[in-house]
Structure 1
Amino acid sequence: MTTLGNENAPRQIYPLLSALSGHWWLVLLRGIAAIIFGVLAFVWPGASLLALVMLYGCYALADGVLALVAAISGGAPALRWWLALIGVLGIAAGAIAFLWPGQVALFLVLLIGAWSICHGILEIIGAIALRKQIDHEWMLLLAGALSVLFGIAVLAWPASGALALIWLIGSYALLFGVLLVGLAFRLKTHRATVGG
């Protein structure tokens, strides 16, 4: 998309898309982190609760830091507040997992459920903000809806067995990661369009 006489017009018209497409690799890294977390959850299904807490803490912290870096790096801060909130929530969830690893499984289940619902709502808000700026924003919308549904399922059945919880978490992380990787490559194709 180009506008005669103004090469910066795409950046001015679509500041959020410009910022995200310029840093598409951060979205890709978030997706890869989620996929790695999902694979590890399936590879070590019999892991102790403490190991699961640490694994979850690493994922939430990595996802939060990458989301925050994406929010801070360049263009239109007013439109990137949702990404910054995802980052802060992820860092907070990871820190809580590391500071109180010995807490009972119910706390972890409630933390994961609440974080997933908040995270999903913010992803949906981001998809709505991007709907007129990018094709296939449904990937981010679907990732957000998946997060919300996952959080509701976790909160609805907190007493599930540890193995079922691990597989549920692993499945969520894999699906979410694949969607973010798809979105990252879609953003990369828009990079030239918006001059990112």
Structure 2
Amino acid sequence: MTFNPTLDRANKPLLRALAANWWLILLRGIAGVIFGLLAFMWPGITALSLTFLWGGYALIDGVASLWAAITGGGAGSRGWLLLVGLLGIAAGIFAFVWPVGTAGVLLLFIAAWAIATGILQIWGAIRLRKEIEGEWLLIVSGVISILFGLVLVMQPLAGALAVVWMIAIFAIIFGIDHILLAFKLRSYKA
């Protein structure tokens, strides 16, 4: 049985909501790629600068997710988007309010955020599996996020340059994945 986006979309409120806001997922992807490229361009970045850069990224990502949850109209459960949004906003604010303290625990902080976000993205993909083809893109993003968080937990003493590169690679892969997902959702837009 194949999925016909025109006929099946009316019975899929979550898909309609995500398709209507595909551009927010695209913005999340673009922000991720830009963040990753900036991290590669400035490999000697200090822990404090990285804290502010990452805090800005987490805040933008959280606001975009929260906006998608709020503007989802009559869609079904948008709880996973709401949680991702609130988690990102909280992480971003924490990084700006306590930058010195955050710099000291940034690796564990980012690891916890990445693991939680990954779990929520997989949860969201599972909820979408009957509504959309290509939900695997969100699953891939979630798995990458969880793996990235686990690597940071298991290797906390890695050199600053290696950490910057790991974060940059994660952000670029995450960004590209979300850009692909956004264009897939755009094809379902009414």
TM-score, L = length of structure 2: 0.94
Distance in 1, Cα, partners of 2:55 & 2:75:
27
Matching residue within 141, 144, 148 for 1:143: 141
User: Does the 8 Å contact 1:60/1:94 carry over to 2?
Assistant: yes
| Cα distance in 2 between the residues matched to 1:97 and 1:146 | 23
2:185 aligns with 187
CA contact (8 A) 1:106 1:158 kept: no
Question: Deviation string for 1:1-58 (max 9, x for gaps)?
Answer: 456xxxxx733x2111000000100000000001110001100010111100000000
Identity %: 52
Q: 1:154 aligns with which of 146, 149, 152?
A: 152
- SS of alignment partner, residue 134 of structure 2: coil
Equivalent position to 2:56, from 58, 66, 70: 58
Separation in structure 1 between the aligned mates of residue 104 and residue 162 of structure 2, nearest angstrom? 14
Question: Helix, strand or coil for the counterpart of 1:187?
Answer: helix
Select the residue among 104, 124, 127 that pairs with 1:126: 124
Give the TM-score normalised by structure 1.
0.91
Q: 1:96 to 1:104 in 2, by over 3 A?
A: closer
Q: Where does structure 1 differ by over 3 angstroms across 4 or more consecutive aligned residues?
A: none
Aligned 1:13-162 pairs, distance under 5 A: 13-76=11-74, 78-103=76-101, 105-162=103-160
SS in 1 for 2:189: helix
Task: Note the aligned Cα RMSD (angstroms).
Answer: 1.4
Counterpart Cα distance in 1 of 2:74 and 2:177: 24
In structure 2, runs of 5+ residues without a counterpart are none
Contact 1:71 1:77 in 2 (8 A): no
Aligned partner of residue 102 in structure 1, secondary structure = helix
Q: 1:18 to 1:77 in 2, by over 3 A?
A: closer
Tell me the number of residue pairs that the alignment of Structure 1 and Structure 2 aligns. Answer: 186
Do 1:17 and 1:134's aligned partners in 2 also have CA atoms closer than 8 Å?
Answer: yes
